[in-house]
Amino acid sequence: MLFIVMVAGAGGLYYIKVENDKSNVEYDKRRELSRRLDAEREEQQRILDAEAERRRQQALAEQQRRTQQAALELAQRRQTASRYIEIVSTDIECPYSVVDGCGGYSLTVGLRNRSRETISGVFVGWVFLPQGQSRCPTSYPTKYQKTITLRPGDTTVLNIDRMWDGPKGQFRYCVGLTGVDIVP
């Protein structure tokens, strides 16, 4: 912008050409451009952050899905293996007999692994049948657990000693596997 100023003074009129300082205008333009660029960078960063969070959430969901799938597969393998663990022998001894029954007892259980899995733990339960009952139940309370390594085709013997909840009088008993752990 150009201003012409007339100044009267001794010796006549003087014209002074005054130009407006363009640097202020350019400074304002640069500030506005800088603000716009900052706003665009902030928006781009917000978009990038949102995308990174979406990918993180997606990866977390995928990891959880894989973990759940692995847990389901392991549970299914464990259940299948438990059907192929066979109780091949049981024996009970009452070394601490009381007058009318078996106060303390020891139980021996023989197992054979007919599954394709390596068994890393077994859970065993048993019941004493009341007189007159001859059928074993379909499920048992777990009374004993043991960490073992029982490969496919192997057998093992569990010696469960010094149990004090023996029955009174004559008795029958049933033993059952209540669960297994397998090597993952």
Radius of gyration of the chain measured on its C-alpha atoms: 44
Provide φ and ψ at 117, rounded to 5°. Answer: -95, 150
Residue % of the chain over a pLDDT of 90: 60
Supply 96's token pair: 């601490």
Phi-psi region of 44 (alpha: psi -120 to 50; beta: other; left: phi over 0): alpha
Higher pLDDT, 149 or 184: 149
Task: Among 68-77, 80-89, 93-102, name the one with the lowest average pLDDT.
Answer: 93-102
Residue 181 confidence (pLDDT): 95
158, exposed or middle or buried, with CB in 10 Å at 0-12, 13-18, 19+?
A: middle
pLDDT at 23 over 80: no
pLDDT at 32 over 90: no
Residue 5 confidence (pLDDT): 53
pLDDT at 14 over 70: no
Structural contact between residues 163 and 62, judged by C-beta atoms closer than 8 angstroms: no
pLDDT (tens digit, 9 = 90+) per residue, 155-175?
A: 999 999 877 877 877 788 999
Residue 12 confidence (pLDDT): 61
pLDDT (tens digit, 9 = 90+) per residue, 58-82?
A: 999 999 999 999 999 999 999 999 9
Considering the entire predicted model, what is its pTM?
A: 0.66
Q: Report the C-alpha dihedral over residues 42, 45, 51, 54, rounded to 10 degrees.
A: -80
Q: Which of 90, 89, 86 is nearest to 119 (CA)?
A: 86
